[in-house]
A = this chain, B = another copy of it.
Amino acid sequence: MSEPEPLAAETGAEALVRTLIGAGVDTCFANPGTSEMHFVAALDRIPGIRCVLGLQENVVTGMADGYFRVTRRPAATLLHCGPGYANGIANLHNARRAGSGILNIVGDHAIPHVAHDSPLTADVDALVGATSDWHAFGTDPSRIGSDAARGLAAAGSGNGRIASLVLPADVSWGRGGAAALPVAPDAPRPPDPLAIGRAAQALRSGHRAMILLGTAAVTENLHPLLAGLARATGAELIGSPMISFLPRGRGRLALPTVAYPVDDAIRQLAPFDIVILVGCQPPVGFFLYPGRPSLMHRADAEVITLSRGDQDAAAALRALAEELGAAPAAIPELAGDVPSVSGSITPEGFAATVARLLPENAIVVNEALTLGSGFGAVMPRAAPVDWLTVTGGAIGGGIPLATGAAVGARSMGRPDRRVVTLQADGSAAYTVQALWTQARERLPVTTLLLNNRAYAILLGEYTRVGAQPGQTARDMMSLDRPPIDWVALAQGFGVEAEPATTIEDLESALTKSLARDGPTLIDVRFAQG
């Protein structure tokens, strides 16, 4: 195949749109501005890409992250100039940590206009450079197609990357556009035989070992292999907190993850002499605290990287199993159902109730660190679901991620898949606007708003400073003056909503919600500890 010839009559924007469609892009998450009007016009003229509007750019980038996690295909985003891109950086950061592939089209000023420093001019190059794995600056309509093809290849390479293409308005409107053929992304690199040998030797040594697993190491098809490895070697399987897509529930591995509180994590990993990393980093704490280490494993533990983030984790695990003669094993089934509870809403009762009602093949989005802790105990008895955690530590990912996941499921021909969001209130306030897109697209998303009227995680962090919070600190961590009325906010954005103050309320509201076509928010009012 050779590149299509430039079409004299075609604009850069049209060439870009045709390139995206040719490479299989079917969705563009967008918040356009003036400099993107020619691109929008091209989307009008050339059918094939569905545009999903977000009311703010961090909604847009978070949706693209959710879409990739469900489809494994890069979505495009359309953003407006440096400040518009900047609005989306936090969820791009989360997407980058998740290993999600995204191609950002960043509309910018026409090239001759930049020198005049008009009000919206910003250093867009520096911004995309600091926050993308790949970036390019479009300079010519005849080349913008191949720029986009390379960008999409970068987004799809390895285990997913952030690519950003700056699209000046005059490149967009200029004639002589040339669409380009798709460029093949780089596959993950093959595993390293030496690393496999070292890991096998360590696992045979009789020392106590853990295998820390990243996203590419926990796809559903690997679960029997992982169970077999654990049985054959006695090693413990632990999930990285940055796993972006984890199959959970009956028939899947019950995988503990490294605890968030640093002292809990240190205790959790203290028994292990050997730490084997599969597609993830060493177990680093989110933050460093005085008198604590950065890494959660024992300082004298031997750390072996079986497979780096850019390598093929599945191939590495298969080679390791072969080396050790470990056969796949059945996942043990736990007897009994998730217990039924009642009364006021505690983290444990909440988790049990939700886990019991989760429909098969649901997608669970988790941004509920402090209140979501009860799920580990009950998920092995729940229906099989896919579990998407907000990675990267930038809060405000949950509602956009859920929205994009539902769009992705629809794009895969599975509009029936229910999305359930476990959403802490402090984080929800960042990107609550994403509810509007859920209503607009009539997506089957149930947002469980975990309402404790506080930045609860910060109150925990503050006590680690070693002081009781005074008035200033309490004021900066509580959200109860005034309380936020989440039911009103959801309704304001067009989403049906109701409160739940008891487990019975929650059960009734969740059951109703799961039977509805469109989105719902349930304001889950936790018992005050």
Which residue numbers of A lie inside 8 Å of B, CB to CB? 30, 32-35, 37-38, 40-41, 43-45, 51, 53, 55-56, 58, 81-84, 86-87, 89-90, 93-94, 97, 109-110, 112-113, 116-120, 122-123, 126-127, 129-131, 169-170, 173, 241-242, 281-282, 284-288, 290, 294-295, 391-394, 396, 429-430, 432-433, 436, 439-440, 457-458, 461-462, 464-465, 467, 469-473, 475-476, 479, 481-489, 491-494
Contacts and interface: CB of A to CB of B under 8 A. Distances in A.
3 closest residue pairs by CB, A with B: A482-B494, A488-B492, A120-B393
Contact of A84 (B56, B394, B436): B394
Contacts of A170: 288, 290
A372 B394 CA distance: 36
Interface centre among A35, A131, A439 (most CB of B within 10 A): A131
A391 B121 CA distance: 12
Contact of A295 (B116, B284, B432): B116
A126 B33 CA distance: 25
Contact of A130 (B109, B130, B433, B479): B130
Nearest to A96: B122
Contact of A491 (B37, B469, B485): B485
A423 to B, nearest CB: 14
Given A117-B281, A465-B41, A473-B44, A429 B56 contact: yes
A304 B187 CA distance: 59
Contacts of A429: 55-56, 433, 436
B488 A458 contact: no
Given A55-B429, A109-B288, A113-B285, 14 more contacts: A32-B476, A44-B471, A45-B470, A81-B393, A83-B94, A89-B127, A93-B120, A116-B282, A118-B287, A169-B287, A429-B433, A483-B494, A485-B494, A487-B492
Q: How many copies of this chain does one complex carry?
A: 2
A90 B83 contact: yes
Contacts of A38: 465
A80 B518 CA distance: 35
Given A93-B122, A473-B40, A436 B484 contact: yes
Given A35-B287, A93-B122, A472 B43 contact: yes
A90 B86 contact: yes
A436 B433 CA distance: 15
Contacts of A486: 492
Contacts of A392: 83, 119-120
B113 A34 contact: no
A391 B487 CA distance: 34
Given A93-B83, A465-B38, A492-B488, A120 B433 contact: no
A294 B112 contact: yes
Nearest to A174: B290
Nearest to A78: B476
A82 B393 CA distance: 11
